[in-house]
Structure 1
Amino acid sequence: MIDTPPSTLTAVRADAHAFLDEVTGTRPRHGDADLAWLRTVAHRVQDAPESFLSWLEEILGDEENVRTAAKRSYWHPNGFAKMVLHASADFRIRLHVWPESAEPSRGESNPHSHRWEFASTIVAGEGLHMVEFRETTEGGMAYDRYRYGADPANPAALRADGGARLEVEKTPRVRRGDVYSCDTAIVHTVRPIAAGLTATVVIQGPHRTGTTVVYCEPGQTDDQPNGELTEADFRVLVGAVAKAVASCR
């Protein structure tokens, strides 16, 4: 779902801690970080770019912050970075970065769902092209279905879960200024619209389910390990995003 309502968060304070302090202080007092609140935070990234930029610069200026964030981040097999800038018990703030390349990245090309809800917004590049799917008994395209998180010995492994057919339900495009939200029922793929630097901020809520689904084309290997993301990688990527945010203010 894409929406563009105004943010309801309070005015930003003019210091480097303003963005995270404000976000943390507006969490629902009763209940957890629901999808409505995740969307509100994503809108705040768009509404207060100076505050968000200051936070990125604060992270880059602290060696311990860089070290901690890099350890919980990784390279996706398709060549883009998934970085966790903030992690707490009920929400995370992630930065997904597709570096500039000669050709557009395949992004997350395997249809998949998530164990958690999230809202995201574009902070660099033209945007993202989504394809949302649903299972069907007739038509569509055949896939091998896997369960992610179903193996207690290796939560990151894909466990075979039979076959399925998928048909396209929606094809949303998310551009700068839009907020895209996703619940655990949505199965989708994601790829950048253009080949230049593309970055999206993902506000992730708590886990709602124990497992999620991933679909692979028949014959495609299910062995798709993540790659190590170094501290140097982290600095280069976050620095490039900070520069892009600063240039658009």
Structure 2
Amino acid sequence: MSFVSTPEIRDLQAYCGQQPFDAAYFKTLCEAVVARGHVAEILRQLARNASLQTVAQNSYLHDNGFTKLVVFRSDRCAVRLHLWDTLSSNDQIVSNIHNHRWNFFSRLLAGEYDQEQFAPSKAAADGERYFASRYVASADDYEVIPLGEILLQRSRRQRMLAPSSYYMAADVMHRVTVPARCLTATIVVQAQTLSASTTICSPHPIAGTGRQGKLAMTVDDVRSRLVLIATLNT
């Protein structure tokens, strides 16, 4: 059993982990990985059952409302497909405000979302109150550790439409909002892991703190979502 393998992903893996990290060169490598034709090749390789089993073992339904399909992972980098499905819902999906354990590059394959960035605020008049937690993930589960209240103010807001793409540094705090009645798919390329945890911020205290199991996926779950993404990528 194995993940997908392409020249573009091998070039990415060969570079990631090198120091100093060159964001511009990383973005150049990522542009090749997220190109529509290369995404189609990834999906063709994933049609093999052996690859699907590996993907299913590494994928799960994320607490922020999307399906996370890990199509390649090493100790240097990873490539993932994300899918938000609100087609049958009148409600939008709003993620927690969060940063990441790695720098990353993302491209929208289909759909849209609003992306907001946030920064700490020293004055209550300039910010909003959130409840911060430390999120520590492992292969099969995660732990949420409350940190207390924090003031944040929005520094940027963008409407992201397919096929737009962007790079984001690991320490940037952001939030994604997917509208109702929408299918949104992205491909995400993450660089080498820089820290063991991230910070998440919510308008309300996060329930179920402590170690939690991830919502695992079956091969059939993965297959059905990949078929949908392949349709969206044409």
Query: Which bracket does the TM-score occupy, shorter chain normalised?
Result: 0.7 to 0.9
| 1:49-72 deviation digits (Å, cap 9, x = unpaired) | 223202212212x11110110111
CA RMSD of aligned residues (A): 2.6
Does the C-alpha gap of structure 1 residues 194 and 123 become closer, same or farther in structure 2, counting only changes over 3 Å?
farther
Q: 1:135 corresponds to which residue?
A: 120
Provide the rounded CA distance (Å) in 2 between the counterparts of 1:181 and 1:78: 20
SS of equivalent residue, structure 1 residue 56: helix
Provide the rounded CA distance (Å) in 2 between the counterparts of 1:214 and 1:120: 20
- Residue 92 in structure 1 maps to residue 78 in structure 2: yes
Structure 1 segment 1-150 matched on structure 2, within 5 A: 20-25=6-11, 27-28=14-15, 31=18, 34-45=22-33, 48-60=35-47, 62-99=48-85, 100-103=87-90, 105-107=92-94, 109-125=95-111, 127-138=112-123, 139=125, 140-149=127-136
Provide the rounded CA distance (Å) in 1 between the counterparts of 2:25 and 2:181: 31
SS of equivalent residue, structure 1 residue 234: helix
Tell whether the 8 Å contact from 1:38 to 1:203 is kept in structure 2 after alignment: no
Q: 1:14 corresponds to which residue?
A: none
**After TM superposition, which residue ranges in structure 1, 4 or more long, deviate above 6 angstroms?**
none
SS of equivalent residue, structure 2 residue 192: strand
Taking structure 2 as the reference length, what is the TM-score of the superposition? 0.84
Q: 2:194 corresponds to which residue?
A: 208
Tell whether the 8 Å contact from 1:74 to 1:83 is kept in structure 2 after alignment: yes
Provide the rounded CA distance (Å) in 2 between the counterparts of 1:144 and 1:81: 25
Does the C-alpha gap of structure 1 residues 149 and 244 become closer, same or farther in structure 2, counting only changes over 3 Å?
same
Once the two structures are TM-superposed, the CA of residue 222 in structure 1 deviates from its matched residue by 4.8
Once the two structures are TM-superposed, the CA of residue 167 in structure 1 deviates from its matched residue by 0.7
Structure 1 segment 155-166 matched on structure 2, within 5 A: 156-166=142-152
Provide the rounded CA distance (Å) in 2 between the counterparts of 1:29 and 1:189: 26
| Structure 2: gaps spanning 5 or more residues | none
SS of equivalent residue, structure 1 residue 137: coil
Provide the rounded CA distance (Å) in 2 between the counterparts of 1:159 and 1:192: 26
Provide the rounded CA distance (Å) in 2 between the counterparts of 1:65 and 1:196: 28
| 1:99-129 deviation digits (Å, cap 9, x = unpaired) | 233335414x21111111101001122x221
- Residue 234 in structure 1 maps to residue 219 in structure 2: no
SS of equivalent residue, structure 2 residue 196: coil
SS of equivalent residue, structure 2 residue 7: helix
Provide the rounded CA distance (Å) in 1 between the counterparts of 2:226 and 2:108: 14
| 1:25-51 deviation digits (Å, cap 9, x = unpaired) | 3543881675334422442255x4223
Identity of aligned residues (%): 26
| Structure 1: gaps spanning 5 or more residues | 1-16
Does the C-alpha gap of structure 1 residues 115 and 34 become closer, same or farther in structure 2, counting only changes over 3 Å?
farther
Once the two structures are TM-superposed, the CA of residue 85 in structure 1 deviates from its matched residue by 0.5
SS of equivalent residue, structure 1 residue 206: coil
Taking structure 1 as the reference length, what is the TM-score of the superposition? 0.79
Question: Whose strand proportion is higher, 1 or 2?
Answer: 2
Tell whether the 8 Å contact from 1:128 to 1:173 is kept in structure 2 after alignment: yes
Mean CA deviation greater in 185-194 or 24-33: 24-33
Q: 1:192 corresponds to which residue?
A: 178
- Residue 218 in structure 1 maps to residue 204 in structure 2: yes
SS of equivalent residue, structure 1 residue 243: helix
